[in-house]
Amino acid sequence: DAGITQSPRHKVTETGTPVTLRCHQTENHRYMYWYRQDPGHGLRLIHYSYGVKDTDKGEVSDGYSVSRSKTEDFLLTLESATSSQTSVYFCAISESNVPEQYFGPGTRLTVT
Amino acid sequence: RKEVEQDPGPFNVPEGATVAFNCTYSNSASQSFFWYRQDCRKEPKLLMSVYSSGNEDGRFTAQLNRASQYISLLIRDSKLSDSATYLCAVTVDSNYQLIWGAGTKLIIKP
């Protein structure tokens, strides 16, 4: 299995609080992605990164920001959590020039 | 219309049977195609890439039909352990971003 970890694995937070999720990889892959997965929807891309300090928005980026200061770490921040952001968040990685992505174990976030 | 569509199922199939399901995509420029498997409350895991010529891996066969814009996954001699949700994903541009179907749930019954 690819060396990808996510932390925390579970979190319950209140509406309006900031939340940061961390994705850490040991594969030295260039690309990293943040998705959310909700019932009835496919995985939806929030943000992705194509290198250190290089990030771009995905399909559902509103309310989320990201940072990548090191190759191995990709952080997802919810500036002010809302109940609509209750979801399972997956981080994924891929090498340059190949489309296959490999996923971390996910973070279950509940916003009350 | 969604870019990538799958029948959500569930497909209830007896052990040992053959089962197949499809995934349709709307963008004719789609370049790469994949099947992932996702167990309950787990992360998606790459099952197979789908090549133009089709490909087989043990009991699993994946095929691409560009004319009708769908990919298929065939599972032969199904096992209880095949019970999972199967996700398809396609790329549509050179950035290799994946567009995902919502998944087909498969339940293999003894």
**Quick one: pLDDT band at residue A7, thresholds 50, 70, 90?**
very high
Specify the pLDDT at position B94.
66
Q: What average pLDDT does chain A have?
A: 95
Helix locations, chain A, DSSP H = none
Contacts of A40 in chain B (CB under 8 A): 8, 102
What average pLDDT does this structure show over B11-22? 96
What average pLDDT does this structure show over A68-76? 97
User: Which chain A residue shows the shortest CA-CA distance from B91?
Assistant: A99
Contacts of A101 in chain B (CB under 8 A): 46, 89, 98
Alpha-carbon distance A15 to A51, whole Å? 32
Dump strand ranges (E) for A1-112.
4-7, 10-13, 19-25, 31-37, 44-51, 54-57, 64-70, 73-78, 87-94, 102-103, 107-111
Contact A103 B103 (CB under 8 A): no
- In this predicted structure, the answer to whether residue A41 has a pLDDT above a threshold of 90 is no
Nearest CA distance, A49 vs chain B (angstrom): 11
- In this predicted structure, the answer to whether residue A2 has a pLDDT above a threshold of 80 is no
Alpha-carbon distance B83 to B70, whole Å? 22
Residue A12's CB is within 10 A of a number of other CB atoms, namely 10
Strand, helix or coil for residue A26: coil
Nearest CA distance, B80 vs chain A (angstrom): 22
Query: Which of A35, A93, A103 would best serve as a mutation to test chain B binding (most B beta carbons within 10 A)?
Result: A103
Pick the range with the lowest mean pLDDT from A85-89, B38-42, B88-92: B88-92
- In this predicted structure, the answer to whether residue A68 has a pLDDT above a threshold of 80 is yes
Nearest CA distance, B49 vs chain A (angstrom): 8
- In this predicted structure, the answer to whether residue B1 has a pLDDT above a threshold of 90 is no
Specify the pLDDT at position A99.
86
Which residue is listed with tokens 């399909």?
Answer: A59
What lies within 8 Å, CB to CB, of A106 at 6+ separation is A6, A9, A37, A88, A89, A90, B42, B43
- In this predicted structure, the answer to whether residue B55 has a pLDDT above a threshold of 70 is yes
- Interval B24-45: pLDDT, tens: 999 988 889 999 999 999 999 9
pLDDT above 90: percentage of residues in chain B: 82
- In this predicted structure, the answer to whether residue B96 has a pLDDT above a threshold of 80 is no
What average pLDDT does this structure show over A26-44? 93
Closest to B84 measured CA to CA, from B55, B41, B34:
B41
- Closest Cβ opposite residue A99 in set B96, B101, B103: B96
Q: How many CA atoms lie within 13 A of A95 on its CB side?
A: 5
- In this predicted structure, the answer to whether residue B109 has a pLDDT above a threshold of 70 is yes
Nearest CA distance, A80 vs chain B (angstrom): 26
Q: What CA–CA distances, in Å, run from B89 to A28, A57, A99, B4, B24?
A: 23, 19, 10, 8, 10
- In this predicted structure, the answer to whether residue A20 has a pLDDT above a threshold of 90 is yes
Q: What average pLDDT does chain B have?
A: 93
